[in-house]
Amino acid sequence: MSQDNVINLLEAGGKDKKLRAKYDALKTKEEFVELAATDGYEFTVADLDAVLKEAGDSWEESGFPPRRLIWW
């Protein structure tokens, strides 16, 4: 269930530029998970890591302004 919430957030961010920008501004996975919870997406850092690993995505930032390539 928690990994489903990660997927739902990544899909939502893929469709919504403002949502994506809000999360891309965060520096740590812990901050990401905390903000996600306030937006109704309950999951842990371990859940986030598992989904990113399975998808072959990386948490690292790239580009300018910095952004993450995790959004679906």
Give the mean pLDDT of 4-12. 96
Find residue 68's DSSP bridge partners.
Answer: 61
Q: Is 10 exposed, middle or buried (0-12, 13-18, 19+ CB in 10 A)?
A: buried
pLDDT in tens, 42-53: 999 999 999 999
Query: What is the value of pTM for the model shown?
Result: 0.88
Token pair of 7 as six digits: 């997927």
